[in-house]
Amino acid sequence: MPTLSPFAAEVIEGLSEQPKRLSSKWFYDERGDALFQAIMAMPEYYLTDCEREIFQRSGPALLSIIAGRPFDLIELGAGDGSKTQHLIEQFLAAGARFVYRPIDISANAIDLLGDLIHHRWPLLPFEPIQADYFTALNRLGQSKTDHLRLVLFPGANIGNFNRAEAEKFLRHLRSFLRPGDLLLTGFDLKKDPATILAAYNDPAGHTAAFNLNLLARINRELGADFQLSAWKHWETYDPAGGAARSFLVADGPQTVHLPDLDHSITFEAYEAICVEISQKYSREEIRALAAAAGYTFVQNLEDSRGWFADSVWRVS
């Protein structure tokens, strides 16, 4: 058997489990990126607007926590950096001394962001790192600077881990930071279940297309023969636990072949694959997570509706 790529290995492992599952981290190929942009632009997906509002007005609060020290503004998964530019604008207007260090695995995203930053603020120190988060943080850990670090992990990406995985990720992140460094993490807050469900169950079908693209990607990259029309997007929200879950449900019994991997998978009628968890938090749960992962809670920066929190923690 040839050595499997990480994608192939995870697909086979997840689809061999009971219940079947796939990780949402594989959503983001080129088509998935475009579909996620469409999701962020739709009216039901409130998360992006909430966080933009927070970033538009949180510069002074963050600068008062930083208390005049020079700092590195490190952004995990910077993408197009559009929300962070609101913070940069406020930081520069207040005369703050900082270096902008976005981290992104995509060279293309870093290049586009670089063009934009150089055009808008030619004098802003800009030192991007093209790598995965932990490789980049490790590299930063070896640099000699005595700057304080303000690490941004925005966008409710933490919600795509379950509670135990989130704690493990945040602990690991802390191991690359120094006492006194700051972490800002975006959390979608628990709210009216109807509002949450609508954000993941839009009538235009963008979320369904986004989720189905995962099966299409398995077809494209692993030579499988999923029939996309035989799968239906199904969303649930559990208001007690706070998890929105996305499923793809088979509308009849079927066998999917992966000839390149010498593998096939059978599905019973109405068998479901869990493809994403989007965990929502209460304010109390955010504080508890900070403590469990080894941080001191500093402050929640919230939007005017109280739907989203960018929570600021200090490395204890």
Residue 118, both tokens: 């150089």
Q: How many contiguous H segments (helices) and E segments (strands) does the chain have?
A: 11, 13
Q: How far is the CB of 236 from ligand AVI (least distance, A)?
A: 13
Smallest gap from Cβ 186 to ligand AVI, in A, equals 8
Residues 6+ apart with CB under 8 A from 200: 207, 235, 237, 244, 246, 278
Write out the residues near ligand AVI by the rule CB under 6 A. 39, 47, 155-157, 159-160, 200, 207, 210, 276, 278
69 vs 163, beta carbon nearer ligand AVI? 163
| Closer residue to ligand AVI, CB minimum distance, 157 or 254 | 157
Closer residue to ligand AVI (CB): 79 or 128: 79
Structure tokens, 249: 């449900």
CB 210 → ligand AVI: shortest distance, Å?
Answer: 6
- What is the nearest approach in angstroms of ligand AVI to the Cβ of residue 272? 16
Minimum CB distance to ligand AVI, residue 38 (Å): 10
User: What DSSP line would sit under 27-93, residue for residue?
Assistant: G-SHHHHHHHHHHHHSTT-THHHHHHHHHHH-HHHHHHHHTT--EEEEEET-TT-TTHHHHHHHHHH
Bridge pairing between strands 243-250 and 272-279: antiparallel
Q: Which residue lies nearer to ligand AVI by CB, 59 or 154? A: 154
d(CA 296, CA 282): 17
Give the residue with the Cβ less far from ligand AVI, 143 or 195.
Answer: 195
The residue number with the shortest CB distance to ligand AVI is: 278
Q: How far apart are CB 29 and ligand AVI at their closest, in Å?
A: 14
- Cis-peptide, bond into residue 6, ω within 30° of zero: no
Taking alpha carbons only, the member of 150, 126, 124 closest to residue 59 is: 150
Nearer to ligand AVI, 63 or 214 (CB): 214
Pairing status of strand 182-188 against strand 71-76:
unpaired
